[in-house]
Amino acid sequence: MSFKCNIGLHSWDGCTCTECGKTRDTGHEIAADCGKCSRCGEVFKDDQHDWSADCDKCAKCGKTRDNQHNWLKDCEKCSKCGKVRSNVHLLADGVCKVCGHGTFHDDSDGSIHKVIKIGDQVIMAENFSKKTSRGNFWEYDDKDGNVIKYGYLYDWEAAKSVVPAGWHLPTKAEWEALYSFLGGDSKKVYEKLKAGGSSDFESLFGGERYSRGVFNSLGASAHYWSRTAEGENEVWQFKLGVYTESAGLEKGDPNFGYSIRLFKD
């Protein structure tokens, strides 16, 4: 072996050193196939392909494979790479019989709401934003733009009255079931429920309104009503906090303004 080879300065012809016969460890030609060098034919033990953008097509070399997507959670969105497809759901009343995802069309006002399934529960995947003649509801900071993104903040009376047929405010027990299904740990549940989390719940942090009229915590916390009262002056709410990265049930004031996520009957 030459002195140059001893210090790592090989004379490569393709992937083989003409001086010592060593086959290179790195620098293989993988443009055509990340799993095999096109110069020397070496097949790599570790998968070099990038399937992150499409489970069936490598983002680096373009090689394809079949039937690698996971459509179990959502018939129209792969849970591994995020690729979407259309017209696959087997719908009944807007909800897929297979995966539970779909849309709900509210005939009373023509609005359309995205629907997801987590465990055995079918849930609206966005904050509710419908007006009601009972109770009180507010735009955060009285700005229309906040309703578009975060929905209205409702007091408990309004939250109970605004629900369309076929849906309901979840009970404390239903929130507990969701919490348990997602792992039963405050931080894990938070990560799965927040926008971009694996559950597709896509929680937005719409804040709250105190009974004295002060708005608080836009972008920092999310508060969702339950329909379960605790004594005469408190109601259970499900809260997510950005700074604590936590999620769980807490008691709330029925006169406060919180967001709504509806569960299907």
pLDDT at 16 over 80: no
In a 3-state reduction of DSSP, which class is residue 156?
helix
pLDDT at 4 over 80: no
Mean pLDDT of the region 47-72: 89
Q: Mean pLDDT check: name the lowest of 85-89, 138-142, 197-201.
A: 85-89
pLDDT at 3 over 90: no
pLDDT at 193 over 80: yes
Of 25-39, 65-79, 232-246, where does the model show the most confidence? 232-246
Q: Mean pLDDT check: name the lowest of 36-40, 112-116, 219-223.
A: 36-40
Provide the pLDDT for residue 45.
72
pLDDT at 2 over 80: no
Distance CA 10, CA 24 (A): 9
Angle made by CA atoms 87, 92, 94, in degrees to the nearest 5? 65
Give the pLDDT confidence of 92-140 residue by residue, as tens digits.
877 888 888 888 988 888 889 999 999 999 999 999 999 999 999 999 9
Q: State the number of CA atoms in the 13 A half-sphere of 234 facing the CB.
A: 9
Mean pLDDT of the region 200-224: 97
**Tokens found for residue 85:** 């497809």
Which helix (H) or strand (E) segment is 47 a member of?
A: none
Give the pLDDT confidence of 144-186 residue by residue, as tens digits.
999 999 999 999 999 999 999 999 999 999 999 999 999 999 9
Mean pLDDT of the region 6-16: 74
**Tokens found for residue 229:** 């009262």
Mean pLDDT over each residue of the chain, to the nearest integer: 90
Mean pLDDT of the region 69-88: 89
Provide the pLDDT for residue 242.
98
Residue type, 102: G
Provide the pLDDT for residue 35.
80
Q: pLDDT band at residue 1, thresholds of 50, 70 and 90?
A: low
Whether this prediction's pTM lies above 0.85 is answered by no
Q: pLDDT band at residue 55, thresholds of 50, 70 and 90?
A: very high
**Tokens found for residue 190:** 């938070």
Mean pLDDT of the region 1-18: 74
Q: In DSSP terms, which residues pair with 260 in a beta bridge?
A: none
Q: For residue 66, with 0-12 CB atoms within 10 Å meaning exposed, 13-18 middle and 19 or more buried, which class applies?
A: exposed
